[in-house]
Amino acid sequence: MAARKLARSEPSVPEYRIGRYRVRARLGKGGMGVVYLGKDEALDRDVAIKTLRVDGSQDDENRGRFEIEAKAAARLQHPNIVTVFELGEDRGLPYIAMELLGGQDLETLLRSHEPLTATERLDIAIQTLRGLEFAHAHQIIHRDIKPSNIRVLDDGGVKILDFGIAKVESASVTRAGMMVGTPFYMSPEHIRGNVLDGRSDVFAVGVILHELFAGTRPFAADSPTLVLYGIVNEPHPRLKLDAAGPLTADVQRVIDKALEKHAEDRFGSAAEMADELARVRKRHSAPPLPMGDQASLSQVRKLLATDQVDSGTVRTVERIARTHPETAEAQRMLRLVKRRPAEPGAAAETLAFPELDASFGRATGGADQTVGSGRTIGGRVETVLRGGPSPGAAAPAQHHSNAVLYGAIATCVITGSIAAFLYFTRVRSPEVAATPPIKEVFVPRPAPSASNPAATKPAPEKPAPAALPNRPAVAVIPKAMVEIRTQPKGASVLLDRKAIGVTPLRIEIASNTAHAISLSLSGYQSKDLKIAPPIPSSVDTTLQPVGPPSSLIVESAYPVTISVSGRVIASNKPGISTTLPSGDYEIVVESSSLFLNHRESVHLDAGGAFAYRAPGTGKVGVRAAPDNCKVFVDGVFVDYPPIIDRTIVAGDHVVSFEWPDGAKAQQRVQIREGRPSYVMGRKP
């Protein structure tokens, strides 16, 4: 469900900004950071802004993790991984701007005990593995996969969050003799301090898969020490015989392999485990909803979007869910109408942010804070501010601001044997700030000496923040009257994603900015309009009848993931045939393991159809001279040469080579269906 824009609070205080984003509300706070709801006014979208806190969290280690999180996620453009827009630094305050997600994190969903169908449970695991498969192909190991780092969206999609301790090629910020993770989901090799690869993340998904069907973690105990001992030494419990209905034996078999103590005995990759779960899921396909019930749920989605759900709507959804208990769409809709959570973009706007005043050493916003250009410094974007304080306002002491940021840094190390742990909480995702106890743990590795070099140091006294400057007056926003009319009448109107009434409608809006208008009426196609200054006095439009649904047909000889306008509608399936309302869509068909990524913008007329047949596959062999180089296909790392008979979709591809000294080469290759092709890379 799209986040809705609020009407601004009565302008009585200056704006707060982080970089180029206007800060609207505080979404959450943890031990290491704060997450804000921000507005990117240049692109007219809401974002989540994650920052490090000023009070002792900005040491080199935490800054390093913060930077790794942003860089790792930014490299991974995938439907099942949160999208990072920017890593920046504003007046010494590091921040990450990322997409604002709806839904709930999996931990909250599990603890709420809301019912999930077997299909939904399998889909959550499969989509998580698909995201990890993509990350591993880019040489990134997450190392902290757990329910609070998995976001389940309202439409059933899944996003992986928080790459703060990910292993990115040779990058690492873990202190010598220490390793970081969450005890319940650590692999045995992680606990032992061994080198990790993607199979460590596979183990974590195995723990989550058990938890999804059993309702409890497989390795639970009263202390972290016992948890870690159980993971390394004890067998995991088995599911109850009816935990997954007729699929229990198959699900248990997947869990057993994922939770093997030795990495070489597990699934060889996240893709292999996802493929196996997809085969299990295929044997548990619930029958589709009748057309009448589908139409009812479609109408409920519109009511949810406009906050018009009443008790009658809830009863309708309850009836459909009761009649079709194994249909994921019906059960998901029932949770939504009962929960009806406040969307992150619809939260009440906050008037003051004292922690930002402390971070910047002054009150931010107002006429004295005009955001200028940004520049990259040491891999970070530094925002350059232009303009001075308003008349009569004291100039902010920049050096004092930096003292507040860096003078408060402190390190607290708890020493001892392997049984000693340091717990702390930090922001989990763009929307979830707090975590239950025993979430993160530093585990000391066996040291060659019994000495204890890590002595606790007292935190330096934090200087008082600079005096706040006088706040300038806020300019009055110019207004204009506009009348919105539709044919036929009675269409629901959303102005900048906020429900304001039905047509015909006369309203007053800000005349110095652009606005988005969405119109919807049962039985008619929805319509989105944009109005920009100068604001017209009236907006007239005719809505078209919905008519019969359109068809989307995808045929493939191998499993593919299919997305429609950003929503994953099929994961790891050999094609689909489904119906969609008429309208404009972006269709994406992809298979990361075979290097297929087909994107096409289409318009589906009522009763029309769009058909796509995935290309066949061929083989490619790759050699290089010298052969100590990395090989990439279409920008994705594959392996070191020689590569023999790698399966790949037919068509044009780019094979790139990168040697340790920085030398690079690339070749284009035409892969023909059913035939082998060869590429030889030579160092320039």
CB 39 within 8 A of CB 21: yes
Among 429, 571, 359, 318, residue whose Cα is nearest residue 30: 429
What residue type is 364 in one-letter code?
T
d(CA 17, CA 495): 24
- What SS3 class is residue 347? coil
Give the number of other Cβ atoms within 10 Å of residue 246's Cβ: 10
CB 61 within 8 A of CB 20: no
Parallel/antiparallel/unpaired status of strands 538-542 and 479-487? parallel
| Count of residues in the chain | 684
d(CA 105, CA 30): 16
Task: Give 449-463 as a 3 state SS string.
Answer: CCCCCCCCCCCCCCC
The residue with tokens 């926003």 is 477
What residue type is 353 in one-letter code?
F
> Which residues are marked as active site?
144
Residue 54's contacts (CB-CB under 8 Å, 6 or more residues apart) are 93, 355, 358, 359, 404, 405, 408
Give the number of other Cβ atoms within 10 Å of residue 487's Cβ: 10
Identify the helix (H) or strand (E) that includes residue 543: none
List residues bridging with 612 in a β-sheet: 554
The residue with tokens 């699929």 is 247
Q: Phi and psi for 416 in degrees, rounded to 5?
A: 145, -155
Burial class (CB in 10 A: 0-12, 13-18, 19+), 30: buried
Token reading at 443: 């585990």
Q: Phi and psi for 399 in degrees, rounded to 5?
A: -65, -30
d(CA 218, CA 225): 15
Cα distances from 207 to residues 216, 240, 371, 546, in angstroms, run 10, 15, 46, 45
